[in-house]
Amino acid sequence: MMATIKDVARRAGVIPSTVSRTLKDNPSISKETKAKVRAAMDELGYVPNSAAQMLATGLTHSLGVVLPPLTDCENISQPFYMEIITAINEEASSNSQVVSIATGATLEELVKQVELMHRQKRADGFIILYSETNDPVKDYLLKEKVPFVVVGAAVDNNDKVTYIDNDNKELGQEAVNFLRAKGHQKIGFVTDDLLGQVGQEHYQGYIEATNEFNLETYPELVFSSRVIDSLIESLQSYQLTADCLNS
């Protein structure tokens, strides 16, 4: 039989309303009493009724994560997304939160999914895993005053939006410094998107670092990974043909 608030109160030696206020982290309850109540919860394996909590607080204790449009399959397949979703899920779990994923083929489909999640109270806030100008998802969340953060470079000067991003230029510099420390002098640059903002910032860091240490840059060594993939496929086809001719 599942433990109830009354069971927790009895074990902790308090009244049920004290347990309820502890669940809400009410400042009127002392730290000592909260610790005693939480210890009783752990001992009894008490799990709060999420539906009742939502009615009382209006919070779902759920977090929405918005992926980029699925039309950009090459970006979606990058390890970055699996790694960051795993990290978000681990952090959410440690804070008794659950994570819901919003996906869509286009930005228009994404905003419909986010709107549905918000109206159905399936998320208290959102983490957007891309940064776009004129983003309808961001516009909707701002209009509805739903808390959210954007993972990516700031694309506007809107002080109502919180952006979280790497220092991509510094990463490019660190890559050059690492290879230079290994004794390498001819350092090329490989990216899957030299026209995108992240790729440009990486490349800028690469150029600045090579200039700082008087290393030559080799434009012919600046490839797109798409070109490299094509070269690898050509070499594999050539090797297969050679093997067939020699067999």
Q: Which tens digits make up the pLDDT trace of 108-161?
A: 999 999 999 998 888 999 999 988 888 999 999 999 999 999 998 777 767 788
Mean per-residue pLDDT, 80-94: 90
Task: Report the pLDDT value the prediction gives residue 184, as an integer from 0 to 100.
Answer: 92
pLDDT band at 218, cuts 50/70/90?
Answer: confident
Of residues 89 and 221, more confidence is placed in 89
Provide the CATH number for the domain around residue 23. Answer: 1.10.260.40
The answer to whether residue 55 sits within a structural domain is: no
HSE-CB at 84 with a 13 A cutoff on CA atoms is 20
Q: What is the DSSP string of 93-136?
A: HHTT-EEEEE--SSHHHHHHHHHHHHHTT--SEEEES---TT-H
The answer on 119 and 176 residing in a single domain is no
State whether residue 150 is helix, strand or coil. Answer: strand
pLDDT tens digits for range 184-193: 998 988 776 6
Residue 131's nearest CA partner among 161, 102, 152, 117 is 152
For residues 13 and 41, membership in a common domain is answered with yes
Tell me, yes or no, whether 35 and 127 share the same domain: no
Question: For residues 175 and 123, what is the distance between their CA atoms, to the nearest angstrom?
Answer: 38
Mean pLDDT within 94-121: 90
53: Cβ contacts below 8 Å, ≥ 6 apart:
23, 59, 61
Residue 57 lies in a domain: no
Higher pLDDT, 209 or 48: 209
Higher pLDDT, 133 or 14: 14
Least confident of 8-22, 144-158, 192-206: 192-206
In this structure, what are the phi and psi dihedrals at residue 125, rounded to the nearest 5 degrees?
-160, 175
Nearest to 176 by CA among 221, 218, 219, 207: 207
Q: Which two tokens stand for residue 27?
A: 């400042």
Domain check: are 66 and 158 in the same one? yes
Burial class of 105 by CB neighbour count within 10 A (0 to 12, 13 to 18, 19+): exposed
Whether the predicted model's global pTM rises above the 0.75 cut? no
Amino acid at 64: G
**Number of structural domains found in the chain:** 3
For position 198, which CATH number holds? 3.40.50.2300
Q: Domain span at residue 133?
A: 62-164
Two tokens, residue 57:
């607080």
